[in-house]
């Protein structure tokens, strides 16, 4: 079990990494906070299971964060699916029910928001592995060797995922322009 001091030290070292990675997956500050909270609680409770011989602490925390992000996205999609049974219109005013803003990434400047919102819409539609490889290399700017370690695949596999991700994105981009 971690002492409070040890946990605080880990938190201080990795809080930005976890929070920013969560933001890059969900692009919504409130959701990213929820995910970051879950991640650090898990780190506190399961620190004893981390084996430094198999993966560094940073890699382990990356993996936990990515898994929680993907779980969160799956749960959110599932809620939206069931939401089809609720009315889209306010019962009293008959006006469309307002949907809360889905895109709020504090790391994105206002002038880039529109372009990046569109890009993230495309990235979010990629298969999970391609999306992870793209986020880790192009946004987190991690070297491919580190990405391979986090994803527990070879460097060649990372390259292949990135290639396919770019092809998929290009295709989707062309479709939106048509």
Partner 1 sequence: MLTMNIENKLEKLKNILQVDAPPFLFTRIKESINTLQSQPAPVKWRLAFGAAAMLVLFLNVFAIFNSDGKMQEGNLDEVVRVMQLSTSNDFYHE
Is residue 19 at the binding interface for partner 1, with CB under 8 A as the rule?
yes
Nearest approach, Cβ of residue 35 and partner 1 (Å): 11
Which of 20, 28, 130, 132 touches partner 1 by CB under 8 A? 20
In this complex, which beta carbon is closest to partner 1, that of residue 44 or of residue 50?
A: 44
In this complex, which beta carbon is closest to partner 1, that of residue 96 or of residue 171?
A: 171
**What residues from 96 to 155 belong to the interface with partner 1 (CB under 8 A)?**
105-109, 112, 115-116, 119, 138-139, 141
Do 107 and 23 meet the contact criterion of CB atoms below 8 Å apart?
A: yes
Which of 40, 60, 62, 72 touches partner 1 by CB under 8 A? 40
Q: Smallest Cα–Cα separation from 158: which of 143, 173, 141, 139?
A: 143
Neighbours of 58 (CB within 10 A): 15
Distance from C-alpha of 109 to C-alpha of 1, rounded to nearest angstrom: 40
Which of 10, 44, 157, 159 touches partner 1 by CB under 8 A? 44
Q: Which helix (H) or strand (E) holds 121?
A: helix 113-124
Is residue 25 at the binding interface for partner 1, with CB under 8 A as the rule?
no
87-122 in b/e burial notation, b at 16+ Cβ within 10 A?
Answer: eeeeeeeeeeeeeeeeebbeebeeeeeeebeeebeb
Which of 6, 9, 13, 16 touches partner 1 by CB under 8 A? 16
Do 133 and 151 meet the contact criterion of CB atoms below 8 Å apart?
A: yes
Give residues in contact with partner 1 (CB under 8 A): 8, 11, 15-20, 23-24, 33, 36-37, 40-41, 44-45, 105-109, 112, 115-116, 119, 138-139, 141, 166, 169-170, 173-174
């Amino acid at each position: 079990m971690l002492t409070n001091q040890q946990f605080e030290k880990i938190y201080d070292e990795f809080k930005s990494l976890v929070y920013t990675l969560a933001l890059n997956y969900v692009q919504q500050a409130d959701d990213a906070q929820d995910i970051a909270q879950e991640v650090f609680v898990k780190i506190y409770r399961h620190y004893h299971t981390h084996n430094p011989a198999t993966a560094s602490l940073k890699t382990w925390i990356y993996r936990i964060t990515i898994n929680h992000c993907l779980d969160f996205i799956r749960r959110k999609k599932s809620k939206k699916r069931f939401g089809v049974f609720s009315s889209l219109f306010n019962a009293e005013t008959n006006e469309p029910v307002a949907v809360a803003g889905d895109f709020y990434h504090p790391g994105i400047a206002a002038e880039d928001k529109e372009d990046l919102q569109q890009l993230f819409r495309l990235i979010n539609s990629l298969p999970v592995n391609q999306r992870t490889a793209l986020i880790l290399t192009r946004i987190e700017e991690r070297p491919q060797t580190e990405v391979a370690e986090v994803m527990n695949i070879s460097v060649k596999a990372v390259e292949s995922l990135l290639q396919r991700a770019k092809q998929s994105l290009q295709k989707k981009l062309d479709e939106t322009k048509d």
